[in-house]
Structure 1
Amino acid sequence: MEQKPPVSVGEEFDVTIEAVGEKGDGIAKKEGFVLFVPGVKEGDQVRIKVTKVLNKVGFAEVCDGEGGESDGDAEQSDEPDEQAEPAAEDSEDFGEE
């Protein structure tokens, strides 16, 4: 019995990052479906775009869209380098394992 994931590649929506996984990726959920989002922190409210969908999990990236800029600027000004660098490392590490 196959259940279709509630998201599709290319779909965009707003989420709250509920947790951070072992590799540093943020974890968000859409109708119970887990999405991994690199470069975010627990509690962040972001607009994401789905990049890959598997049977039980998906992957997404933060959109540089409207509305998120003013909120994102305030948080990014504190630690812009720490948010950018781990995202690249996580993506590389994830692919190797």
Structure 2
Amino acid sequence: MVEVPDALSTLFSAQIETDGDRYVVEIPKSEVSHGAVSPGETYRVGLLSQVDAGSSTAAPTQAPKQDTDPGRVDTGVPQPPVDEGEIRNVTIESLGDQGDGIAKVERGYVVIVPDGEPGDSPTVEIETVQENVAFASVVDNDGRTV
């Protein structure tokens, strides 16, 4: 079984393309737009081969986690790592343009928290989930119910 470190920034599928005397792995635009990676930065990359269903020589892999939401369709594109109604502990890292707190969770996915201040670690309820951002409300801030 492959052990995945907590420091994993992003996980996606891509094909390796040939470009002259080099090979290219394209990063999906969504990974940049939600802050998992930034152009011009250097990253460590790990590659896992795709298992062919009919191949007996492929390395064994862990079965993908089945999504418990029957409304979600597997499109091959990573889904947001949060669900509406989910309760989460987050840490506010910065402030957005409108003064709301910005927290990041798995894969750099952004959660907007109204009235959050950098360094706050509130418990929030995810209210609205979009492709690259979620909006949450504080349900408990440092032991005080809001």
Category of TM-score, reference length = shorter chain: 0.5 to 0.7
Match of 1:27 among 95, 102, 113: 102
Query: 1:39-63 CA deviation, whole Å, 9 max, x = no partner?
Result: 1111111000000000011100100
Contact 1:35/1:60 (<8 A) preserved: yes
Provide the secondary structure at the position in 1 that maps to 2:144.
helix
Query: 1:22-77 CA deviation, whole Å, 9 max, x = no partner?
Result: 10010001112101000111111100000000001110010048x6219x8xxxxx
CA distance in 2, matches of 1:64, 1:45: 9
Structure 1 runs of 4+ off > 2 angstroms? none
Contact 1:47/1:68 (<8 A) preserved: no
Contact 2:92/2:103 (<8 A) preserved: yes
Q: Give the root-mean-square deviation of aligned CA atoms.
A: 2.1
| 2:97 is equivalent to residue 17 of structure 1 | no
- Structure 1's unaligned 5+ residue stretches are 73-97
Larger Rg, first or second structure (1 or 2) = 2
- The structure in which a higher percent of residues are helix is 1
Number of residue-to-residue matches in the alignment: 70
1:8 corresponding residue in structure 2: 83
Structure 1 residue 3: Cα displacement: 1.3
Percent identity among equivalent residues?
43
TM-score normalised to the size of structure 1?
A: 0.65
TM-score normalised to the size of structure 2?
A: 0.44
